[in-house]
Structures are given as structure tokens and as C-alpha cells.
């Protein structure tokens, strides 16, 4: 598969490389390729198809051919044919690649137990079987007790080696076309069963002549159950089990060769219902439908029952009258006709001579005595044994023939018929000659005439008595129907009997020989089966003979019974297997010598160790050998039992492995409080010597660090100065440094002791921050604050004098600022102010009216000027619209041309007149 892929890919790559390199080889190469040549550089010979390089090369070749000095059309036609051939080759390669990919996918999904994991396969099989029987279970209230036979076929469809074609002794894959026998439901490969049917029909019809061949529809048998099929039943198409879908698609989640639809096949025997399972192998289960039916004797009330078991017995006496007409059937309610009457009664025979006790079921019987009644002739008695009806006429009455049947006599029944004296003339046993004796009673004599007789095979003749048969000694050399052995029968007439020797050929299983009579064609599959067993022999799977070499042994659920190979008394429980047992994973549990604990490591009595100290190669010519592993017992690992141990700094108690017990550092920071009472020891966990009777674990010892840092205690709120002392216990001394601050108005800088500022309350801080000057801030009214330097907003109580005017700005007064802002005082205009306003408004109206009239006059003047300009422009446009009409040559010179034309006509007429004369 991979080789074919590489070959196709390599061919395409080489073709693409040649097609792409073609343009750089010049016009000569293009002309050779376009002309239909098969050089290596021609695109038509090796181009893979419509690849970029190939298309460019073909187009370049076509253009160069059109530009060639020869001017021929053949190059263009050749280019077109080369493109068509390249396209065909590309399609062929494409189809081959698709077919190879499809085959690879089908092989990947083929149903082989070697490719699927056992656990995954068991889970899938359970789900598929459950889905197959879900329709049956849901419509039958979960009753699946009668599905065992069908389940067996479905389970065999998933078992490795269970689905085997008995003709070719090979496994049946999921992706292979199959045919299922309707008698035994055995599955065969489609090509195998087609060849089998063809060979079987040929063997049956081979003894026939050409005239008889084809006149009868000779059947062919199933290889397993010998169920016969007609010639028209020979399978030609691959269908699913239910026959609905042709070539069912491969689906790993369906039963192999199933379409996944509801079966819907008619039940056997037919009951009017159809199978409810999904498409499945094997026979359909009994009909699960519920019907209402009564018992056999029709006495009980109808009850609902399964359609497959709708016939039932009420167990009451049947009561139907028997054939004897005297007694009734006493058996429990049953199907079919009643049995014969079991009672015994005294009955006469047919002739009435004897009476005997006989079964009531057979009232008519014949005794062994001759009838003996006198016939109608009164001379003879009836010679028939006990019979029914009249005895009939005397057999010797009426006209009777002589022994040779030539003469007829009318004689009483008491007299015998005499011989007629004529020759007998009856045909003898030979069938050729006639009896020459006189009419006689009894059989004729044997024919003794000598004739020329042919032997049975027709090869020799001999003169001999007619009644003796003639068999020559020639042995038949024809081949019997097996076409292997000669007939060898003496004087064979040509109808050679079938071969009676054993076939003896080795069957497909390679284990047995064919036990049938010698025959033509292939032998029947081996009927034997072989059990493939597990290692212990408790589990087995039965496969056709010949498949035991390729069938995997079944998975055994029994426990392995082999003795342990390590020091343990019993090995771990594991299932039966082939080969050596898996390594022991039980705890070692040996007592360690140093500490006395039990070894908790897995068993290491049979560990694989790489062998060391092997022979070193003397040079590069020697092939390095693969490393060898030997099985040996390893010593127990160090004891890992946890022992609680306290660290050096007594921070924690941790479990340590038994083999590593001892003083250890937990790698944490020591954390003991130093003498400064402010910091802790930053060394890694270490041993600390306790001084005196001090039991405080948090106090530093002589091994801890000494504090060398400055004081890092927090200062009072507002103090920005650090403590001047080194790191010390207790409170820091008050800060006596001067603190520079701004006053409330942010203009003056003040210097105050830090301790006064940090210990003062709010009022004292306000006094310390005051510069004793007037506040420089402005009030909302625009005047300066009159208060001394203070925190917060300025009070709004401005008493400064401001000037206030009336609305017309004529009257003016001085008032307090705060009263004006509160709208407590306002100044109104008097009568004088109003009179002045009226006069000013009249003046404004007059000025506006004059301006309006002036604007109207100006607009009128502009309109008149515009109209005057417009009139002068119209006169100029009229002169421009006049069109000058140009005269033609005829109009200009017609007065000169007319006399000239007249003169020409006169001259022409004169010439004609004088020329005629």
C-alpha cells in the first residue's frame, strides 16, 4: 500500500518537475513537444495534468508554435491533444489515489479482533446487542427469554474466528460481501458461494448430453446444511440480513453486514406479524405480539397470549365423539384430531365367522379363513379369504379360451377346457422367437435357437443359443463421472456407474482427507470442528477444522493456578494466560535488619537487570549486540517507614524515612525574638542553646543574630522625624526638632517644636498656625476679608459702602454691601426719568423710518439701471442669431453651365447624324 502511494506520488513529482522545467529550454523544446513527439522534455509525454507548471508550459508551447515561421496549424492541434492526454493521466492518477485511500479506510475499520482492544470491543458488543434487541424488549414488556438462539448468532458475529466461511476457511470481515443461507443461517463470502453454486450445477449436469443440458433447473446445495436452491436463487448481489439495503454501508456501531433498520421479515410459521428486531443474523425469534385466543376444544374463554404460543390447552376433557361412534375422547384438551379409541370390545370379523376382543378404534377386521360359500353355479365354493360383499359369479362359467388363446369353448363349469391342437405360437422369453409346440398347458420351453449375438458393449459377435447372454472380456476405458478413474467394467454398454472409490484428497483444513466418494470439483468443507483451549483448558471455543492455527485462544475467566516463583506463599490473583506469569507486585514484607521494619516495596525477587561487563567491540566492523537483561533478586531498598522528628529550631515535627532519621533543619527562618524586642532572627533553622532555666522557645539564644539596625518604631501622627536612638525596647523619647509649617493664609512660614504640634488639640493647632495678620482672601462681593488669619471659609458680613443707581443711571445713592446683596434696598426711576425715556424712543422711531425710505430709493435706482443694461444685450443677440446660407456650385454657376451643355448636345447630335451617313 505504501509502495503504491510512493510510486504515484513520485511519478507526479517527476512529471511536475519535467513540465515546470520545459519553459526554460527554449522554443525548440516547445516545438518538439507541440509536434506530438515523445521526448523527455515534451509536455504531452510526461505532463501530469493541469498543474501550474504544466499549464504554463502548454500555453508557452502553443504561443511559440503560432509564432513559428512555418505557419502550420499542426502545432496548435498537437498542443490541444497533449493537454487532453495530460488531463486524462491526471484523472487516472487521481482515481488511483482515491481508490487506495478508500481501501486503507476499509482495512482500518475491518472487523478483526487483533486491531481492537478487548475491553473496548466487549463494551461495543454489549451496546450493539442491546440496541439490536431494544425494539423487541420495548414492545414485549421486557420479555427476552426466547431470544437466546438469535442472541447466539449476534454474539458470534463479534467473536474472533466465529464468523468463518466454510468454503475458503477464512474469517469474514466487516467490509466483505457475504451471503447467508436461509436454512442454517451460515454466512459465506459472496465470491465463494457463487463459485460453489456454479461448480455444483456443473457436477450435477455433467453426465447429461448436450441436448439435455439446460432443459432442467438443476439445484445446488448449501455447503453446510445441504438445503437445495434453484439456479435462479444463485446470489449475485450483496444485501443486508433483512434484504432491504443493497451493499449496506460499513458502520462500526451496527451488527456486521446489517442495515440498522427494523427487520420486518415474516415469522416462520407465518402468523401475519413481522419481526421487531433490528436487522440481524440468524433466525427471527418467536412472534412477541399479544393476541386473544381460545383453547383447542373451544370451551374456555379467550385470553390474551403471545402470538408464538397462541395455541393452548385448558386441560379439561376433550369430549369429542371418536371414530367408533360409541365413545368420547377422554384426553385433555389437545390440538389436531383425536387419537384412536383406546377401549376394547368384542367384534365380529367381516365374514361373521369369528368373534374376538379388539380395539374399538378398528372395528373392521378380516379373519384368516376361506369364505367357502356356494357360488351361483351350485358346483363350486368361494375360494376368497374373509371378504366384504357378495362372492360373485363362478370363474369357470361362460365361454373360455384354450391355453394358446386361439379357440373359445362353451362348456359347463364342471369340465376343463381342452387343447385346440394348433401350434402355441406364444413369444418366448427372448422376445424374438415363438413357441413351436402344440397348444399346451403350463409355461413354454426355453428358446434353443442359435443366433449371431453382439456383446453388451457392441465390440464382438458370436453364434450361440438365444437364451444365453453374451459378455466379452473387454474392459471399459471410459472415465467415470469423477474424471479420474477408468470404468474397468467388463463389456460395459456405456452407462458407466458412478465412481465407488474414496476421494482421499486433503481438505482445506490440511488435517483430514475427503471421506466422500470420488467426485469432480472442489470437496465439501471439512465437517469436523476443533476446540481451541486456553492455557488451563477450562475455557474453549469451537472453530471449524483448519482455523485453530489462526484463531486466538479464548479469554479464560479462571484464576491462574501456577505456583508463585518468589518468596510469597501465594501469588497475586490474575486470570489464566499463556507464557510466564506477570511480575509479582505484592509488598515484599521482609524484616529489615537495621530497624526491624517490614519492607513495603513491591516484590523484587525477579527483577530484570541490564547485564554489565560484557565484551566490548574491538572495532567498528563488529556489530554492537543488544543489551541483555538477566532476572535476579535485588536487595530491599532503604526503609521508608516515617519516624516523627523535631527540627533543630523546634519549629515542626515531620516524619522522616527510617533510614534518614537524625537532626535536620526545616529550612525555615529561625524567627526567635532578639534582645531589641523588635526584630526576629533571620538565620535558617539552627540549633539554639537554652540559657539557665528559661523555657521560652521564642527567645533568641547565643547562636542567633545580634540586631544592628536603627529604630524602626512608628512615630506619632504628624512627626516626620526618625528616632535618633538605635533599635531599643520601650517607647521612643519625645521629638524636640523644629517643624516648619504654613499659616492659614498660606503666606507666612512658622517654626514650631514637633512635640508641641503632635500633642496639641485642634484649637491649639489653629493658634499655632495663625500669623496674626489680616486675612488676604476676597469675599464673594469682591471686598477683602476684615478678619485676622483664620482657618476655613471667611464669614460673609461685609459692611463696606457701595454706590447704587436707578435703571436709567440718573439717580445715585451709597448703601451697605450686605444689604444690597440681600436685595433689601432698590432705587426706582421717577417721572423725569420716564419723560426722558419717551423722548429718546420717539427719536429712534423717526431715524428708523428715514433709513427705511432711503433704502427703498436705493433699490429703485438699482432696478432701473439693471433694466437699461438688459435692453442693450437683447439687440446684440438678435444679430448673432442670423445664419449665413452658403450657395452650392450649381447655384453659383448655373447660368454658365446651361449654355455649355446645350452646345455639347448639339455637337453630339451632329456627329451621330453625319457618322450614320
Mean pLDDT of each 10-residue bin along the chain, 917 residues long: 36 36 34 34 34 34 35 42 73 79 59 41 60 59 56 65 78 87 88 89 62 63 88 90 90 84 86 86 83 88 84 87 82 87 82 82 81 83 84 81 85 82 86 87 86 87 87 88 85 84 85 85 82 88 83 86 87 87 87 85 82 65 70 86 87 87 87 84 86 69 84 84 84 85 86 85 86 84 83 81 79 78 74 82 87 88 84 59 56 73 81 65
Alpha helices in 543-660 (DSSP H): none
Cα distance between residue 347 and residue 360, in whole Å: 8
Question: Which of 254, 285, 316 is where one domain is finished?
Answer: 285
How many degrees, rounded to 5, is the angle at CA 270 between CA 269 and CA 276? 105
| 212 in any annotated domain | yes
Whether the CB-CB separation of 405 and 420 falls below 8 Å is answered with no
Last residue of a domain, one of 719, 754, 773: 773
679 falls within a domain: yes
Q: For residue 70, give Cα distances in angstroms to 37, 63, 82, 736, 859.
A: 17, 13, 20, 118, 90
Quote the number of domains for the chain.
Answer: 4
Beta pairing partners, 610? 629
The answer to whether position 556 is within a domain reads: no
| Cβ atoms of 662 and 647 closer than 8 Å | no
Q: How many C-beta neighbours within 10 Å does residue 714 have?
A: 8
Domain co-membership, 146 together with 270: yes
Q: What angle do CA 890, 891, 892 make, to 5 degrees?
A: 90
Q: Considering the domain boundaries, does residue 249 fall inside one?
A: yes
Question: Do 169 and 223 reside in the same domain of the chain?
Answer: yes
Given this model, what pLDDT does residue 760 score? 85
718 and 653, same domain (yes or no):
no
Q: Same domain, yes or no, for 676 and 734?
A: no
What helix, strand, coil percent values describe the chain, rounded to 5?
A: 25, 15, 60
Query: So what's the pLDDT on residue 179?
Result: 92
159 and 262 within one domain: yes
- On whether the pTM is more than 0.75, the answer is no
Domain C-terminal end among 285, 302, 321:
285
User: At 191, phi and psi to the nearest 5?
Assistant: -65, -35
Sign of the dihedral through C-alpha 338, 340, 346, 349: positive
Distance CA 228, CA 217 (A): 12
Residue 472 belongs to a domain: no
Same domain membership, residue 677 and residue 757: no
Q: Is residue 701 part of a domain?
A: yes
Structure confidence at residue 193 (pLDDT): 92
Please indicate, yes or no, if residue 864 is contained in any of the structural domains: no
Q: Which domain holds residue 254?
A: 141-285
Residue 152 sits in the same domain as residue 268: yes
The per-residue pLDDT for 122 is 52
Beta-bridge partners for 130: none
Q: Label the pairing between strands 801-805 and 812-816.
A: antiparallel
Are 689 and 749 in a shared domain? Answer: no
Can you give the pLDDT at residue 178? 92
Of 189, 185, 187, 163, which Cα lies nearest the Cα of 176? 189
Residue 64 class from Cβ within 10 Å (0-12 exposed, 13-18 middle, 19+ buried)? buried
Do residues 158 and 221 both lie within one domain?
A: yes
759 and 653 within one domain: no
Same domain (yes/no): 701, 714: no
What pLDDT score does 767 carry? 85
Q: What is the pLDDT of residue 880?
A: 52
Tell whether 100 is covered by a domain: no
Residues 714 and 648 in one domain: no
Amino acid at each position: 500500500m505504501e509502495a503504491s502511494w510512493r510510486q504515484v506520488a513520485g511519478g507526479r513529482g517527476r512529471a511536475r518537475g519535467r513540465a515546470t522545467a520545459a519553459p526554460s529550454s527554449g522554443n525548440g523544446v516547445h516545438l518538439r513537444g507541440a509536434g506530438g513527439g515523445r521526448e523527455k522534455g515534451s509536455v504531452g509525454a510526461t505532463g501530469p495534468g493541469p498543474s501550474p507548471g504544466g499549464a504554463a508550459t502548454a500555453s508557452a508551447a502553443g504561443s511559440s508554435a503560432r509564432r513559428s515561421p512555418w505557419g502550420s496549424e499542426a502545432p496548435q492541434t498537437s498542443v490541444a491533444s497533449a493537454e487532453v492526454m495530460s488531463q486524462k493521466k491526471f484523472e487516472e492518477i487521481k482515481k488511483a489515489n482515491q481508490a487506495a485511500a478508500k481501501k486503507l479506510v476499509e482495512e482500518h475499520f475491518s472487523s478483526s479482533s487483533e486491531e481492537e482492544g478487548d475491553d473496548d470491543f466487549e463494551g461495543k458488543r454489549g451496546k450493539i446487542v442491546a440496541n439490536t434487541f431494544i425494539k423487541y424488549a420495548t414492545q414485549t414488556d421486557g420479555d427476552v427469554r426466547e431470544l437466546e438462539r438469535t442472541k447466539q448468532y449476534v454474539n458470534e458475529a463479534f467473536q474472533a474466528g466465529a464468523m468463518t466461511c466454510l468454503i475458503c476457511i477464512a474469517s469474514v470481515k466487516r467490509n466483505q460481501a457475504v451471503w447467508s443461507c436461509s436454512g442454517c443461517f451460515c454466512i459465506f463470502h459472496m465470491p465463494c458461494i457463487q463459485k460453489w453454486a456454479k461448480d455444483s450445477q456443473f457436477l450435477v449436469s455433467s453426465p447429461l448430453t448436450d441436448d439435455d443440458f439446460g432443459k432442467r433447473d438443476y439445484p445446488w446445495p448449501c455447503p453446510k446444511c445441504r438445503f437445495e436452491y434453484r439456479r435462479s436463487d444463485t446470489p449475485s448481489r450483496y444485501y443486508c440480513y433483512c434484504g432491504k439495503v443493497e451493499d449496506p454501508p460499513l458502520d462500526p456501531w451496527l451488527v456486521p453486514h446489517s442495515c440498522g433498520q427494523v427487520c420486518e421479515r415474516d415469522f416462520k410459521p407465518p402468523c401475519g406479524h413481522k419481526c421487531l428486531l433490528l436487522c440481524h443474523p440468524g433466525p427471527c425469534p418467536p412472534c412477541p405480539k399479544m393476541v386473544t385466543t381460545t383453547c383447542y376444544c373451544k370451551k374456555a374463554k379467550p385470553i390474551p397470549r403471545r402470538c408464538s404460543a397462541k395455541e393452548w390447552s385448558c386441560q379439561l376433557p376433550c369430549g369429542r365423539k371418536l371414530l367408533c361412534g360409541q365413545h368420547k375422547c377422554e384426553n385433555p384438551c389437545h390440538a389436531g384430531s383425536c387419537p384412536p379409541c383406546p377401549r376394547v370390545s368384542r367384534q365380529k370379523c367381516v365374514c361373521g365367522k369369528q368373534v374376538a376382543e379388539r380395539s374399538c378404534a378398528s372395528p373392521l377386521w378380516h379373519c384368516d379363513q376361506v369364505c367357502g360359500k356356494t357360488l351361483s353355479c351350485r358346483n363350486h365354493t368361494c375360494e376368497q379369504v374373509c371378504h366384504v360383499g357378495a362372492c360373485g359369479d363362478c370363474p369357470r362359467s361362460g365361454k373360455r379360451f384354450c391355453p394358446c388363446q386361439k379357440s373359445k369353448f362353451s362348456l359347463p363349469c364342471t369340465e376343463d377346457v381342452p387343447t385346440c391342437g394348433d401350434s402355441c405360437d406364444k413369444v418366448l422369453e427372448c422376445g424374438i422367437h415363438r413357441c413351436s409346440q402344440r397348444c399346451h398347458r403350463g409355461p413354454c420351453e426355453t428358446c434353443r435357437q442359435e443366433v449371431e449375438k453382439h456383446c453388451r458393449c457392441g465390440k464382438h459377435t458370436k453364434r450361440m443359443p438365444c437364451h444365453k447372454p453374451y459378455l466379452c472380456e473387454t474392459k471399459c476405458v471410459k472415465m467415470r463421472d469423477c474424471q479420474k478413474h477408468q470404468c474397468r467394467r467388463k463389456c460395459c454398454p456405456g452407462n458407466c456407474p458412478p465412481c465407488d472409490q474414496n476421494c482421499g484428497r486433503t481438505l482445506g483444513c490440511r488435517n483430514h482427507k475427503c471421506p466422500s466418494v470420488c467426485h469432480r470439483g472442489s470437496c465439501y468443507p471439512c465437517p469436523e470442528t476443533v476446540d481451541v483451549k486456553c492455557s488451563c483448558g477450562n475455557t474453549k471455543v469451537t472453530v471449524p477444522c483448519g482455523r485453530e492455527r489462526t484463531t486466538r485462544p479464548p479469554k479464560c475467566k479462571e484464576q491462574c493456578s501456577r505456583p508463585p516463583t518468589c518468596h510469597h506463599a501465594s501469588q497475586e490473583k490474575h486470570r489464566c494466560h499463556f507464557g510466564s506469569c506477570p511480575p509479582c507486585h505484592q509488598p515484599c514484607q521482609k524484616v529489615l535488619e537495621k530497624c526491624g521494619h517490614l519492607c513495603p516495596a513491591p516484590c523484587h525477587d525477579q527483577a530484570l537487570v541490564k547485564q554489565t561487563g560484557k565484551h566490548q567491540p574491538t572495532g567498528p566492523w563488529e556489530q554492537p549486540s543488544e543489551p541483555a537483561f538477566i532476572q535476579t533478586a535485588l536487595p530491599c531498598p532503604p526503609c521508608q517507614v516515617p519516624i516523627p522528628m523535631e527540627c533543630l529550631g523546634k519549629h515542626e515535627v515531620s516524619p522522616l524515612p527510617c533510614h534518614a532519621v537524625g537532626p535536620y533543619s526545616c529550612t525555615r527562618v529561625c524567627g526567635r525574638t532578639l534582645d531589641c524586642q523588635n526584630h526576629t532572627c533571620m538565620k535558617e533553622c539552627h540549633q539554639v542553646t537554652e540559657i539557665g532555666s528559661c523555657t521560652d522557645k521564642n527567645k533568641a539564644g547565643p547562636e542567633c543574630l545580634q540586631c544592628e539596625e536603627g529604630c524602626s518604631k512608628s512615630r506619632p501622627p504628624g512627626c516626620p522625624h526618625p528616632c535618633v536612638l538605635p533599635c531599643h525596647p520601650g517607647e521612643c523619647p519625645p521629638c524636640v526638632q523644629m517643624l516648619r509649617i504654613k499659616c492659614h493664609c498660606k503666606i507666612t512660614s512658622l517654626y514650631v517644636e514637633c512635640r508641641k504640634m503632635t500633642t496639641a488639640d485642634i484649637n491649639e493647632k489653629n493658634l499655632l498656625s495663625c500669623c496674626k495678620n489680616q486675612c488676604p482672601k476676597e469675599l464673594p462681593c469682591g471686598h477683602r476679608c476684615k478678619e485676622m488669619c483664620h482657618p476655613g471659609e471667611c464669614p460673609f458680613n461685609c459692611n463696606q459702602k457701595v454706590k447704587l443707581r436707578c435703571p436709567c443711571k440718573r439717580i445715585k445713592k451709597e448703601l451697605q454691601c450686605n444689604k444690597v446683596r440681600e436685595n433689601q434696598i432698590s432705587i426706582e426711576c421717577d417721572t423725569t426719568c420716564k419723560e426722558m425715556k419717551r423722548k429718546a424712543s420717539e427719536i429712534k422711531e423717526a431715524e428708523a423710518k428715514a433709513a427705511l425710505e432711503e433704502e427703498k430709493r436705493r433699490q429703485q435706482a438699482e432696478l432701473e439701471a439693471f433694466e437699461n443694461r438688459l435692453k442693450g444685450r437683447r439687440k446684440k443677440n438678435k444679430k448673432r442669431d442670423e445664419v449665413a446660407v452658403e450657395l452650392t456650385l450649381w447655384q453659383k454657376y448655373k447660368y454658365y453651365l446651361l449654355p455649355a451643355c446645350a452646345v455639347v448636345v448639339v455637337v453630339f447630335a451632329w456627329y451621330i447624324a453625319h457618322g450614320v451617313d
